[in-house]
């Protein structure tokens, strides 16, 4: 029997990059999947890959920054898949700019997607998790949520807030049998976000990924499935005594 056989998992931002690999990993572990993304074509592609594993996938196309989209998705999956056991809040956007050039619109959009999205999905799933006395939430932060870096003010602030929100929820809902953790990836390649970051680094005359990751303890960037493996562990009963943690998946880039 597969480790998460029969459980229902939801992944936001499941159309590409890390989110797609999380969906596939949880599918291989036996979960039925609720898949959410703003990009219909790419999330349908993920759904086809998930179904090919032999489990159910139900897609909702929407924007994580819209509370009505989050509520609609969770209500729909309750009917199509059953009660949600695992929520992975993965969707996010990168925002990089010199601080003095960050516009109010950039700032608000980054917070709306990266942070409000987590708030809305957690509020949507938690009442049923409390009723059932069980549930797991994994939130996507970043090493830049633990250490400020230049040109990432808005992005880093959202990722730091996600760590604190994770701790607050872990503290408040632990008594209901609900665990809430975060992961903090470092430099992960083969994602749209990384390609975008590389374009921006090149424009700013900064070194490329290969050069920067050569200096890391593990001497290379990470891959989406290496983040997905840690998320699957946190979602599983093997992590039964872990809550409120923000786990680095950085090849040693960040160790605190
Ligand atoms: N790639 C990295 O190096 C890295 C490092 C640290 C943290 N992260 C985090 O991992 C998560 C996934 O990143 P990725 O690199 O796989 O990115 P990606 O751009 O490859 O994929 C993000 C997915 O989220 C979806 N999405 C974007 N905005 C959305 C919205 N408003 N509503 C619904 N879906 C939306 C996109 O359509 C896409 O499918 C993000 O939260 C990111 O901040 C990535």
> Does residue 249 lie within any of the structural domains?
no
Whether 254 is in a domain gets the answer: no
Annotated catalytic residue 241: no
Structural element, H or E, at residue 67: helix 67-80
pLDDT at 200: 84
User: Considering the domain boundaries, does residue 194 fall inside one?
Assistant: no
* 25 in contact with ligand 1, CB cutoff 6 A: no
Q: What is residue 201's predicted lDDT score, i.e. its pLDDT?
A: 85
Q: Does residue 195 belong to any structural domain of this protein?
A: no
CATH number at residue 41: 3.40.50.720
Q: Which residues contact 102 (CB under 8 A, 6 or more apart)?
A: 95, 153, 154
Q: How far separated are the first and last CA of the chain, in Å rounded?
A: 36
Residues 55 and 23: their CA atoms lie apart, in Å, by: 11
Mutate to test the pocket of ligand 1, among 14, 92, 94, 121 (most ligand atoms within 8 A of CB): 92
Name the pLDDT band for 203 (thresholds 50, 70, 90).
confident
The helix (run of H) or strand (run of E) holding residue 21 is helix 17-28
Q: How many domains does the chain have?
A: 1
Using CA positions, which residue lies closest to atom 23 of ligand 1? 13
135: helix, strand or coil: strand
pLDDT in tens, 228-255: 999 999 999 999 999 999 999 999 999 9
Range of the domain at 166: 8-189+224-244
Provide the 10 A C-beta neighbour count for residue 135. Answer: 22
| Residue 217 located in a structural domain | no
183 lies in a domain?
yes
Q: How far is CA 69 from CA 63, 74, 150, 178, in A?
A: 6, 9, 33, 24
Q: What is the pLDDT of residues 142-157, one digit of tens each?
A: 999 999 999 999 999 9
């Amino acid at each position: 029997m597969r480790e998460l056989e029969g459980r229902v998992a939801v992944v936001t931002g499941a159309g590409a990059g890390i989110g797609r690999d999380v969906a596939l990993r949880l599918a291989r572990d036996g979960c039925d999947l609720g898949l959410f993304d703003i990009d219909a074509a790419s999330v349908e592609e993920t759904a086809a890959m998930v179904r090919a594993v032999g489990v159910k996938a139900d897609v909702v196309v929407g924007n994580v920054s819209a509370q009505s989209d989050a509520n609609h998705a969770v209500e729909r999956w309750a009917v199509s898949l059953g009660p949600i056991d695992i929520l992975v809040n993965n969707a996010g956007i990168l925002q990089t700019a010199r601080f003095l050039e960050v516009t109010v619109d950039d700032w608000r959009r980054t917070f709306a997607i990266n942070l409000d999205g987590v708030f809305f999905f957690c509020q949507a799933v938690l009442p049923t998790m409390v009723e059932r006395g069980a549930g797991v939430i994994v939130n996507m932060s970043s090493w830049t949520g633990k250490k400020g870096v230049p040109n990432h003010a808005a992005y880093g602030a959202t990722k730091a807030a996600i760590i604190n929100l994770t701790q607050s929820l872990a503290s408040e809902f632990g008594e209901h049998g609900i665990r809430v953790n975060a992961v903090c990836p470092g430099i992960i390649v083969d994602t749209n976000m990384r390609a975008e970051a590389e374009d921006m680094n090149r424009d700013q005359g900064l070194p490329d990924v290969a050069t920067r990751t050569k200096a890391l303890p593990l001497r290379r960037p990470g891959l989406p499935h290496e983040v997905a493996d840690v998320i699957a562990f946190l979602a599983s009963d093997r992590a039964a005594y872990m809550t409120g943690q923000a786990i680095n998946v950085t090849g040693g880039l960040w160790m605190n």
